[in-house]
Chain A
Amino acid sequence: MGKKLSLTSDQAKRKILLLFSVTTNLSILGFFKYYNFFVESTHQLLETLGFPQGDPYFLNVVLPVGISFYTFQSLSYTIDLYYNKTKAHKNLLSFAAYVALFPQLIAGPIVRHNELVPQLDDVPKSRFSIDNFAVGISFFCIGLAKKVLLADRIAYAIDPAIMNVEHLSLIEGWLCALGYTLQIYFDFSGYSDMAVGLGWMFNLRLPQNFNSPYKSESITEFWQRWHMSLSSWLRDYLYIPLGGNRKGTFLTYRNLMITMLLGGLWHGANWVFVIWGGYHGFLLAAHRYLKKQHLPQVPRQLKIATTFVLVLIGWIFFRSENLSQALIWFRSLINTENIFGLKNITYATQDPFFAALVMGLPMVFLAKNTFEMDHRFFTHKKALAYGLFLVVCTLFFVKKSPFLYFQF
């Protein structure tokens, strides 16, 4: 398809080829990821409207790992070809290497064709480089430590508590929300760092996916710093084609909303993701509106804190299994009948949990992120620290703990 697109100059034919490619890619994604969701939602809607219904037919298929990521990569390839932003692959192997590059196959970052393919094609660069390997080790160990020493410690404490969400005290409700806010960052950015590190080991530069998102002063800035490869993908292939901010205020808000709703749905076939996307779409539109109102300046710290709390509230939708669980969780945030109870965060997990919070909070607000560090400045201390990270993390390998974004 790519070859044909690049060889044809007839615009009508190119459009048909593009449509065919986009439809095929989205159909595969839709079949595996959204069929059951669509059937169930339609069934419920018809039932609510009073139409008699039989049992809906659900598919019992396993969701291929990383399907959302490599579908987007394939889509970006054909769209870029259509707009002549990139060149077609000469062989299938080269295309397969682009789509299925193992470090980032499962959970990103979503790599653009013109970012990766020139690197894959650069044969002299593919020779082993001890410098790049050392940089890769550095990225990898930091990512691993984020995942195992911080994200997992938090998960073991809050997962059982969130399962028991109807009994959470006020403090537990907030601790779970705060915990998940840190967990998802350390888990996902840890994975991205490891992917980038593996890339370095193979002389490949994968893009930065997180740029200290919780230091953001606004929700717009948050989306420039969080899951950057997805947000830039949505911007380039959805928001801008919809018209972006070029067609007036109302349509800009509409475009933001559509982009974020679909961005939410991309995460999974569940209404909570759609609501999470809609919530962020609303916040982005509201921020855009407020920016134009010439409001008095507020201190930077207050802006960061406000953005953090707004993002934290959004994660409650994102983490909940369904809308009713999310609402019960929100209720616990104002549960004045039980304020200080800590029964649902088990005693055994409390110490590692609080230790992870104490370490994690300064890291997200004050410390440099992995890309801001100088990985080429090699010291004995760093080598020993990374060695210690690797060993300590390996000690915890006995308990299974998949990355959160593997499910998407």
Chain B
Amino acid sequence: MNAKKFLLTFFASVLVLFGAISFVNTLVNPLRTLPMPWSLNLPSEKNDYFVKFKLLEKARGTKALILGSSRAESFLPSRFEDLMGLKTFSAALGGAGAPAKLAFLRKANQHHKIEFIFYLSDFYELKKREIDPKLLYQEEMSLLIKPELKDISITPWTDRLLHYIDHRLLENSINFLGRFFRGATFETGFFPDGSTKRSIVPILDKNRIVLKEASDRTFNEYMANTFFDFYELSEGRKRIIQKIVNTAKVNNSTLAIILSPYHPYFENRFQKHTHLIRLKEEWRQFMLKLHDGKSVFVIDLTDTSKLFPPSKTYWADGVHFYKEASEKIIKEVKKVLGAKVPTKH
């Protein structure tokens, strides 16, 4: 074989492979990021978002909603109900960012008269990042935030181009097509009030946890997956948070936004990454401006040392806390809001 034929075979194989990958990614378009005139109407995937959506729909009499990521999973709706006097549903979900929170809020407002919203906010939810594919696989949920997709999609054309041949997109596409043909089976991991059966917080391991070690590990994981390329707050994400605030106001709900604390071990690790300290402060300032003292209350709990000690009774690692800490936070919120918390009807 001569070099000419070798190169022809090489470039042909590259073109065919790229073409095949782009075709699959464009056909399934699992992240809804590729601009295409057609849509493959695949059934909704029965993932965590799907299950919580269905549970939220059925949770009759819900008046309070918990919004947050895995950190908010320790805020049990039953304790919330005891302390606040409102039937509560937990829409907290691991990895749920601002777009998911907005979708849950809109869904809740479709089915219930939501009077009180408890929103646990983290500074890294203002990072410009891809939307959780699980959310967009959930047809109903992705439709609920369709107007906001332009804010969370990838805009530079080079990134878009790379997306056509992104391996994660390809994996998602293949998984999705596989489920489509095999039929999805999904075991729900939630109770009817949205609280989780399999929290990220390992309650059984509580006595065995070495807090410093767990805290360092979470920081390293966050550093590798979230913080490593986080240099500015996303304007798109800010607009989504503003929409959450507006949605609450339009529906006459009281919104309590909690600025989340971190364990001192975790907090100390920021010292070497001064840009993260700056971003945290920018996030804090942005969120504090949302406070109006009438229907929107921003409660700065970034320093919880006065509420509870940084021991493993309260903290599971650098970011997740146990229900003991959550109860203290709920009580603090109640104290700050005072009469503004709606009473039981």
Q: Which residues of A contact B (CB under 8 A)?
A: 130-131, 133-135, 137, 156, 159-161, 163-164, 166-167, 343-344, 346, 378-380, 382-384, 386-388, 390-392, 394-398, 400
Contacts and interface: CB of A to CB of B under 8 A. Distances in A.
Interface residues of B, number: 32
Given A164-B220, A380-B9, A387-B10, A395 B165 contact: yes
Contact of A391 (B2, B21, B168, B221): B21
A386 B21 CA distance: 17
Interface string B1-32: 11111110111111001100100000000000
Given A160-B221, A395-B170, A378 B17 contact: no
B223 A160 contact: yes
28 contacts: A130-B4, A130-B7, A131-B3, A133-B3, A133-B7, A134-B3, A134-B10, A137-B7, A160-B221, A160-B224, A164-B216, A167-B217, A343-B217, A380-B6, A383-B9, A386-B10, A387-B12, A387-B13, A387-B14, A388-B13, A388-B17, A390-B14, A391-B14, A391-B165, A394-B165, A397-B162, A398-B162, A398-B168
B217 A344 contact: yes
B164 to A, nearest CB: 10
B234 to A, nearest CB: 18
A386 B3 CA distance: 14
A326 to B, nearest CB: 18
A400 B167 contact: no
A383 B223 contact: no
- Which of B162, B168, B216 is the most central at the interface, judged by chain A CB atoms within 10 Å of its CB? B216
Given A167-B217, A387-B9, A130 B162 contact: no
Contacts of A396: 167
B292 to A, nearest CB: 40
Given A133-B3, A134-B7, A386-B10, A164 B217 contact: yes
Contacts of A384: 9-10, 13
B168 A383 contact: no
Interface in B173-232: 210, 213, 216-217, 220-221, 223-224, 229
Contact of A380 (B1, B167, B229): B1
A384 B166 CA distance: 20
Interface of B: 1-7, 9-14, 17-18, 21, 162-163, 165-168, 170, 210, 213, 216-217, 220-221, 223-224, 229
B221 A346 contact: yes
Task: Determine chain B's interface SS by DSSP, over half rule.
Answer: helix
The 7 closest A-B pairs by CB, nearest first: A387-B13, A395-B167, A383-B9, A378-B6, A134-B3, A391-B17, A383-B10
Contacts of A379: 1, 6
Contact of B21 (A163, A164, A395): A395
B20 to A, nearest CB: 9
B8 to A, nearest CB: 8
A343 B121 CA distance: 28
A398 B166 contact: yes
Nearest to B12: A387
A199 B162 CA distance: 27
Contacts of B210: 167
B134 to A, nearest CB: 15
Contacts of B223: 160, 163
Contacts of A398: 162-163, 166-168
Contacts of A400: 229
A390 B220 CA distance: 31
Contacts of B216: 163-164, 166-167
A398 B169 CA distance: 11
Nearest to B20: A391
B154 to A, nearest CB: 10
A378 B5 contact: yes
Contacts of B2: 378
- Which of A160, A392, A396 is the most central at the interface, judged by chain B CB atoms within 10 Å of its CB? A160
B17 A134 contact: no
A130 B3 contact: yes
B6 A134 contact: yes
Nearest to A391: B17
A397 B159 CA distance: 10
B273 to A, nearest CB: 12
B224 A159 contact: yes
- Which of B13, B162, B223 is the most central at the interface, judged by chain A CB atoms within 10 Å of its CB? B13
B324 to A, nearest CB: 24
Contacts of A130: 3-4, 7
A343 B165 CA distance: 32
Nearest to B8: A383
A392 B11 CA distance: 14
Contacts of B229: 400
Contacts of A166: 216
Contacts of A134: 3, 6-7, 10
Contacts of A388: 13, 17
A392 B201 CA distance: 36
A147 to B, nearest CB: 15
Nearest to B11: A387
Nearest to A394: B165
Contacts of B165: 391, 394-395
Contacts of B21: 391, 395
A280 to B, nearest CB: 30
A383 B220 contact: no
Given A167-B213, A343-B217, A382 B6 contact: yes
